[in-house]
Copies of this chain bind each other. A is one copy, B any other.
């Protein structure tokens, strides 16, 4: 067995745990909002994936850590039976956090033993899938931790290395010529099923900015009454901000006349030069309307991305999340993976400062519902 994969597996497992290390026990179990999962659930679910799809199948005489866990930390509820009580992520105080860490150790150890003793390309492919799955959950953990702590009335400091990088260069627009371009993943490395099916797309001439919109630029939009001018918004977006009384990005609070935001280390003043984040697709669209420009499509983004600096934040595109030609679901429970979300979501491209190293590539298709704001997403304009 190649030691590179074992090392990658180990470092991924460790990274998840290091990310959570500054949490208090109390922080692990709450679910303040339906899209947020408790950190404990992420820790256990990413472990369950390795147990369920690899150890239970390929490890001889493997004894599952706890029969309940496969039920409690499974997100694929539809393929398993009902029990007396359906688990409710946010109220699940048991098993305790310490037991979940024991579960992680148990599975990590068993998987390393499997890889060292008796591997195969089939197993390795699944391990790579599991690693990428856990890396996705690392990023979701960052979103969810920010949400949980950023909604404490005390705005506690969370001691993390996660921090947005500055954008250095001055703003300009990159021009791309019309033509037929190849889209989608190519090569032998890992990618998700939704990137596959390399295919051709015709693009017309367009220009795209080399920089993300900053907090300072977004503040101008706020102060120009952007949130009060329905002409800038989708009908659905307007209803959403009215109903939810949204007047600024998530985590922004006006304190004694001054805009502050929560950024992991407590409530602080808005940094004008940093890219604006924690905004919905509706807000990104309205901002672009206000500027007289538009968001790029995911295809424009993929073609142009070699020409600018990306990876600060996921970038909203004006593309709906739809299957590529010849997309096909994998058989079995893994087949639930991506296809079932291909409606009513918008694509984001790039990666964020919370994305695991080597987990981003220009063909990666992230996606969220247009109203979602808790993920680390920003705005790049095209015209």
> This chain: how many copies in the complex?
4
Smallest CB–CB gap between A338 and chain B, Å?
11
How far apart are A36's CB and chain B's nearest CB, in angstroms?
9
| A344 in the interface (beta carbon within 8 A) | yes
B residues within 8 A CB of A294?
323
Contacts of A200 in B (CB 8 A): 178, 202, 204
Q: In the complex, A288 Cα to B236 Cα: how many Å?
A: 28
* 5 tightest Cβ-Cβ pairs between the two chains A and B: A320-B320, A32-B91, A26-B93, A202-B202, A25-B25
The 19 sampled A-B contact pairs (Cβ below 8 Å) are: A24-B94, A26-B29, A26-B93, A26-B96, A31-B91, A72-B153, A78-B231, A78-B238, A84-B267, A91-B151, A92-B153, A94-B149, A200-B204, A204-B325, A206-B325, A294-B323, A319-B322, A320-B320, A343-B370
- Is B152 within 8 A of A231, CB to CB? no
Q: Say whether A244 faces chain B, with CB atoms less than 8 Å apart.
A: no
User: Could you tell me the distance in whole angstroms from the C-beta of A255 to the nearest C-beta in chain B?
Assistant: 6
Compute how far the CA of A250 lies from the CA of B51 in the bound complex, rounded to whole angstroms: 35
Chain B residues with CB below 8 A from A340, complex form: 233-235, 238
Closest Cβ of chain B: how far from A85's Cβ, in Å? 4
Q: What B residues does A180 contact at CB under 8 A?
A: 180, 202
* Cβ–Cβ contact A85 & B343, under 8 A: no
Contact of A26 among B28, B230, B342 (CB under 8 A): B28
Residue of B nearest to A30 (CB): B91
Residue A117, interface by CB 8 Å: no
Distance (Å) between the CB of A187 and the closest chain B CB?
A: 20
Q: Quick one: given A200-B204, A340-B235, are A86 and B320 in contact (CB under 8 Å)?
A: no
Q: B94 near A236 (CB under 8 angstroms)?
A: no
Instruction: Determine chain A's interface SS by DSSP, over half rule.
Output: mixed
Structural contact, A336 and B154, CB atoms closer than 8 A: no
Q: A84-B253, A200-B204 are in contact. Are A93 and B24 (CB under 8 A)?
A: yes
* A153 adjacent to B84 (CB under 8 Å): yes
- The answer, yes or no, to whether A90 is at the interface (CB within 8 Å) is yes
Cβ contacts A74-97/B at 8 Å (1 or 0 each): 000010000111111011111111
Is A335 at the interface (CB under 8 A from chain B)?
A: yes
Contact assessment for B94 and A26 in the assembled complex, using a CB-CB cutoff below 8 Å: yes
A320–B76 Cα distance when bound, in Å, is 26
> A237 at interface (Cβ–Cβ under 8 A)?
yes
Contacts of A322 in B (CB 8 A): 318-320
CA distance A201 to B203 in the complex (A): 8
Residues of A124-164 whose CB lies within 8 A of B: 148-149, 151-156
